[in-house]
A and B are shown apart, each in its own frame.
Chain A
């Protein structure tokens, strides 16, 4: 039985919600930390809420709260925010050819919602193509926005009553979610090389306290994956030239 348009949309919305749900739950400790840290550092409730509402970026929020509380200069705060957010350039570039075609409102909306988490769910070759996949992206990205807000509000209300959940090992939740999303995508050697290089370099750069650690590790890893792919193709075309074409069996 064919689904009606309405049912198909509903099914995609549900899939978007369920696919994002693990990520929505995994960021609970950070959301609460962001909210409660803002209150502990003497932010007003309005300021603490504007962070998730309009900045909407976990790591940038955390770092900026500490910088603002320590009276860092505006230039320092904005520059740090820029460095932490620079990985988003990669997401925009990777999705450019699909998202640039969208109507203005969708483009602004999904652009605003383009977090690490939504990008992680955008790997499908036809992501954002067609109305149903847009519904999927909107519900996935939108539910992440609402959950992020919810956890931040919880942190604002709880203030200092809750212990720092990120030191309880709850940061493992985000790691295991990304493991679950990345490992099944390793379907060939170039991607395996990418993952290994990204893993080794990200740890090295983090230990060196290199500010662009994430982006630098990712860029080098992408290039290594790309080179592996080129090398494979070269070898393949070489062996195609040498190998005689076998006659087909009857």
Chain B
């Protein structure tokens, strides 16, 4: 039974990914739709990372001593300045570890 469930889940995850790249699907994207979709990457990716920073265990955390918020701030500055993924990650992770350590002292 679990095997069948897993198989059907795979059908769903693949279909949602594949449906709109199927050439015979009668969908034509106009210029306006293409413009709208050009904002999809910043929109979806932001909707993934921002809740990690501000919502912990279902609770809103806007405190200035939230280590996620402190480290995210440093990471955003590093990303804006350097545009380097690796440097941003290093800055973000180091400031996260340090602020977590300092705040639990």
Q: Which residues of A contact B (CB under 8 A)?
A: 19, 22, 43-44, 46-47, 50-51, 54-57, 60, 64, 68, 74, 77-78, 81-82, 85-97, 99-101, 107-108, 110-112, 114, 116, 119-120, 122-123, 169, 171-186, 190-191, 194-195, 197-203, 206-207, 209, 213-214, 217-219, 221-223, 225-226, 229
Do A93 and B17 touch across chains, with their CB atoms under 8 A apart? no
**Given A55, A97, A99, A199, which contacts B34 in the complex, CB threshold below 8 Å?**
A97
Do B55 and A226 touch across chains, with their CB atoms under 8 A apart? no
Do A82 and B93 touch across chains, with their CB atoms under 8 A apart? no
Do A177 and B40 touch across chains, with their CB atoms under 8 A apart? no
Q: Cα distance A177–B78 when bound, in Å?
A: 12
Q: Which residues of B contact A (CB under 8 A)?
A: 2-10, 12-14, 16-23, 27, 29, 32-55, 58, 60, 67-68, 71-72, 75-76, 79-80, 83-86, 88-89, 92-93, 96, 100
Do B37 and A93 touch across chains, with their CB atoms under 8 A apart? yes
Q: Cα distance A97–B22 when bound, in Å?
A: 10
CB proximity of B51 to chain A, nearest CB, Å: 4
Do B13 and A88 touch across chains, with their CB atoms under 8 A apart? yes
- Give the chain B neighbours of A74 by CB distance below 8 A: 4-5, 8
- Give the chain A neighbours of B6 by CB distance below 8 A: 47, 50-51, 54-55
Do A186 and B42 touch across chains, with their CB atoms under 8 A apart? yes
Q: Cα distance A141–B84 when bound, in Å?
A: 20
Do B52 and A172 touch across chains, with their CB atoms under 8 A apart? yes
Do B44 and A90 touch across chains, with their CB atoms under 8 A apart? yes
Do B13 and A191 touch across chains, with their CB atoms under 8 A apart? no
CB proximity of A95 to chain B, nearest CB, Å: 6
**Given A90, A122, A181, A223, which contacts B85 in the complex, CB threshold below 8 Å?**
A181
- Give the chain B neighbours of A202 by CB distance below 8 A: 46-48, 50-51
Identify 14 new A-B residue pairs, CB closer than 8 A, beyond the known A55-B10, A78-B12, A81-B9: A47-B2, A85-B16, A90-B44, A119-B44, A169-B68, A172-B71, A172-B93, A180-B79, A180-B92, A182-B79, A201-B47, A214-B44, A214-B47, A221-B42
- Give the chain B neighbours of A173 by CB distance below 8 A: 89, 93
Question: Can you name 13 A-B residue pairings with CB atoms under 8 Å?
Answer: A44-B2, A85-B13, A94-B40, A114-B18, A172-B93, A176-B92, A182-B42, A182-B45, A191-B39, A194-B46, A207-B55, A223-B36, A226-B35
Instruction: Give the interface centre of A47, A100, A120, A175 by most chain B CB atoms within 10 Å.
Output: A175
